[in-house]
Structure 1
Amino acid sequence: MNNFIFENKTKVYFGKGCVGEYLPKIAAVHGDKVLFAYGGGSIKKNGVYEEVIAALEKAGKTIIEFPGIMENPTYKKVLEGTKLVKEKQVDWILAVGGGSVMDCSKAISMAAVSEKDVWDEYWAKKGVVDFEPMPLGVIVTASGTGSECNGGAVITNEEVMIKTDRDYPKCNPEFALMDPTYTYTVPTKQMVAGSFDILSHVMETYFSEPDEDNVSDDISEALMRGVITSLRAALVNPEDYTARSNLMWLSTMAENRIIKLGKKCDFECHQMEHQISAYTNCSHGCGLAVLHPVYYRHICQAGAKKFTRFAENVWKIPRNGRTDEEMAEAGVEALADFIREIGLPTTLREVGVEKKEDLKEIADSCYLVDGSYKKMTHEEILEIFLECF
């Protein structure tokens, strides 16, 4: 394995009833004023809002609500939250929701204490966080991004049409409360898209060097099999606690940095989807479902050994005399079949791209990253987009 340094400071409280049991005790040791950040209001329909409010009031906290965080959080929303934090002299932030709420709250935790423009200094480019962000805790209500146990945040700057992901360890939440029953009321399409995002996170680590036997690849294969099995079970019964608890922890395991240790990682497909959703505001998981099979058809022969393992160990495809190159292709097609099985989109038209003419501008705006078995160019990204259209 390659050399690495590992760090993860987030303390996880996992299981049914964990919010009512632990949040009052956690809140008691934090400051008086808390920014209660959440999304479109679904937590007011499923009882989560009332439970969180009750726990914070039990701890004697002054609650400053910050609702309306959108699916692809914008820098404008970050600045709105930052202004509220400063005006109300907030002491800490509690993000209740899925990845978008957590990501936006991480950016606010930085902007609230930094004198710099955090987009220019920390998202437009990789910066050095030489200060302590505002204390942040999270309560997870949707599985997918794994944002609860890392410092990553994806923010869209609408003015320049750029969507960027940065991961700063100092932005890791101090704590994460994870009750799988909170995910029961997530709409089926959102649950499926989030679950595919989990699978994508694992694949982008797995499909990269080194290819020699290593712990990360072994864990990744188990995680991918787990996502496939648990998603199928959750589609049959959305309140299957075993399936929903597995999906919640699979999401965390995919993005708590463990499987990335010693790996190069291939984030190119994620970068491509970021720019598609920067232009269309589509669901991240849906965009990834469209792009992944086509992207992998372009690179699988360059990484045939690993794609063969994927076919054999994840999809259980028998050799039957196939070459590595044929097995690699079979693994990619099994992924494409699974995407159709779970009902995710398979074309860019389905996620909001209306004109082929727009695709060149989107392709040219994509970051080119290292780690892939085959180095992308903007021209090849455009080819992929056209094939997906």
Structure 2
Amino acid sequence: MNNFIFQNGTKVYFGKGCVKEYLACLTRKADTILLAYGGGSIKHNGVYDEITGILKEAGKTIVEFSGIMSNPTYAKVQEGAKLARDNHVDMILAVGGGSTMDCCKAVSLAAQYGGDIWDDFWARPGVIDFAPLPLGVVVTVAGTGSECNGGAVITHEEKKIKTGRDYPQLNPSFALMDPTYTYSVPVKQMISGGFDILSHIMETYFSEPNEDNVSDDIMEALMKSVIRNLRASIKNPEDYVARSNLMWDSTMAENRVIKMGKKCDFECHNMEHQLGAYTNCNHGCGLAVLHPVYYRHIYKAGLPKFVRFAQNVWGIAQEGKTDEELALAGIDALADFIKELGLPTTLKELGAEKSQLNEIADSCSISQGSYKTMTHEEILAIFQECYE
């Protein structure tokens, strides 16, 4: 194992009924709460009524911050920060999936900062030497794992840049995770989020070191869990065992545990973020299009790991195959799984225009953790191969 320092400041309350049991206690020090959510689905599935009922019974003043979009923008962050400041908010409660949580992390920073947080913390890494506004989250969608890290992906619409930063100070202080809250998520959204979980794990797995390490062992188990439980959840969306496993898979993928001692790649995420900045496409769908093609570009540089992926995750036997053939069989198994899930397989399906690809490729940042360092020319070639 390589050297590392591990820290996670989020306390997790997991399981059926956890919101009813713990929310009032966790918000006892706050008088005014900024209740943040997305398009309003929580008003149709009973989550909104349950949470506001608990807060009102506890005597809290609720300030609503709604309409957080699937790719949260810097303008939306500024809107939330102004609401928090104008209403002297003591705590933010983000109810939703990764977009809501990411947006609220940025709001918690912007509400307490006098400068431009994009320029000082997202355009480049910054130093947070002050206390952001306290943040708690109620998770309703499994996917990003944002509940147990300080990462926030924000889109600057004017600059056409979508980027993420991870600051430990932005970790939510608590995360309430009731798997039954995910039952009402549309199947397509559940599948997209499930693939995002798998992508997060693969982005870490396919990176150095290659020698035996605990992180890779954990990731192989997690990948098999995501595959198994996503299939079960599609068959029965209210399978509590499957939905609870997927929810914790999502957290484990991004709570920093599996990243210990790993370089991490995330080039596919870099490429998808810029596709999202230009097309506003669904994140998990964009990743599904890119991953198999990207891996066919890099597998020779990380051959031992791709062989291990084929054998230990997909159960493909070596017999009669060279290492290269086995590695490609593992990538093909991934591509077949994407088709099985009904996810898109071309950029054209995501609404990308062929004329945009050159500009999007040039805007992508280059990962230093990849087995093979990309160039903008090769990124463009990947986009072109993915187009139709």
Q: Same fold (TM over 0.5)?
A: yes
Question: For the residues of structure 2 that align with 1:126 and 1:298, how far apart are their CA atoms?
Answer: 30
Provide the rounded CA distance (Å) in 2 between the counterparts of 1:32 and 1:275. Answer: 39
Aligned residue in 2 for 1:232:
231
Give the Å deviation of 1:321.
2.3
**Matched residue SS, 2:301:** coil
CA RMSD of aligned residues (A): 0.6
Residue 136 of structure 2 corresponds to residue 137 of structure 1: yes
1:358 aligns with 2:356: yes
1:234–1:243 contact (8 Å) kept in structure 2: yes
2:219 matches 1:217: no
* Contact 1:141/1:182, CA 8 A, preserved across alignment: yes
Q: Which residue of the partner structure matches residue 373 of structure 2?
A: 375
Cα deviation code 1:345-382 (max 9, x no counterpart): 000011111x2121000000000120100000000000
Q: Which ranges in structure 2 are unaligned for 5 or more consecutive residues?
A: none
**Partner SS for 1:40:** coil
SS in 2 for 1:321: coil
**For 1:116 and 1:324, how far apart are their aligned partners in 2?**
53
SS in 1 for 2:300: coil
Q: What's 1:21 paired with?
A: 21
Alignment-mate amino acid for residue 354 of structure 2:
K
Shift of 1:128: 1.1
- How far did residue 129 of structure 1 move? 1.1
CA distance in 2, matches of 1:304, 1:220: 17
Counterpart CA distance in 2 for 1:97 and 1:151 is 16
- Per-residue CA deviation, residues 200-230 of structure 1 (Å, 9 max, x unaligned), is 0000000000000000000000000000000
1:267 shift after superposition: 1.0
1:224-259 superposed Cα distances (whole Å, 9 cap, x missing partner):
000000000000000000000000000000000000
Structure 1 residue 308 corresponds to structure 2 residue 343: no
Report deviation, 1:77: 0.1
**Distance (Å, rounded) in 2 between the aligned partners of 1:289 and 1:131:** 38
1:9 counterpart SS class: coil
Which residue identity does 2:25 align to in structure 1?
K
Kindly indicate whether the alpha-carbon contact (under 8 Å) linking 1:272 and 1:363 is maintained by their aligned counterparts in 2.
Answer: yes
What is the aligned partner in structure 2 of residue 51 from structure 1?
A: 50
Deviations 1:304-330 (A, max 9, x none): 100000000000001112121111111
Cα distance per residue 1:169-220 (max 9 Å; x no partner):
0000000000000000100110000000000000000000000000000000
| TM-aligned CA deviation for residue 114 of structure 1 | 1.1
CA–CA distance in structure 2, aligned partners of residues 333 and 301 of structure 1: 15
Q: Which amino acid counterpart does residue 2 of structure 1 have in structure 2?
A: N
Q: Give the aligned partner of residue 123 of structure 1.
A: 122
Distance 2:163 2:370 in 1: 19
Q: Deviations over 1:34-91 (max 9, x none)?
A: 0000000000000000000011112211000000000000000000001111111111
**Amino acid paired to 1:373:** Y
* Letter in structure 2 aligned against 1:153: A
1:199 and 1:124 map into 2 onto residues whose CA distance is 27
Q: Do the aligned residues in 2 keep the contact of 1:25 with 1:59 (CA within 8 Å)?
A: no
1:73 aligned residue = 72
Q: In structure 1, how many angstroms separate the alpha carbons of the residues matched to 2:323 and 2:207?
A: 17
- Quote the Cα distance in structure 2 between the aligned partners of 1:301 and 1:344: 26
Distance in 2 (alpha carbons) for counterparts of 1:244 and 1:264: 30
1:9 maps to: 9
Which amino acid in 1 is paired with 2:91?
A: W
Task: Find the residue that maps to 1:107 and give its secondary structure.
Answer: helix
Q: Following superposition of structure 1 onto structure 2, how do residues 1-389 of structure 1 map, counting pairs within 5 Å? A: 1-28=1-28, 30-353=29-352, 355-389=353-387
Q: CA deviation at 1:96?
A: 0.2
Secondary structure at the aligned position of 1:286 is classed as helix
Deviations 1:111-168 (A, max 9, x none): 0101120000111111111111110000000000000000000000000000001000
Determine helix, strand or coil for the equivalent of 2:337. Answer: helix
8 Å CA contact 1:113–1:133 kept in 2: the answer is yes
**In structure 2, distance between residues paired with 1:129 and 1:214:** 32
Q: Percent identity?
A: 71
Q: Secondary structure at the match of 1:376?
A: coil
- The 2-side partners of 1:129 and 1:5 are apart by 19
Count how many residue pairs are aligned between Structure 1 and Structure 2. Answer: 387
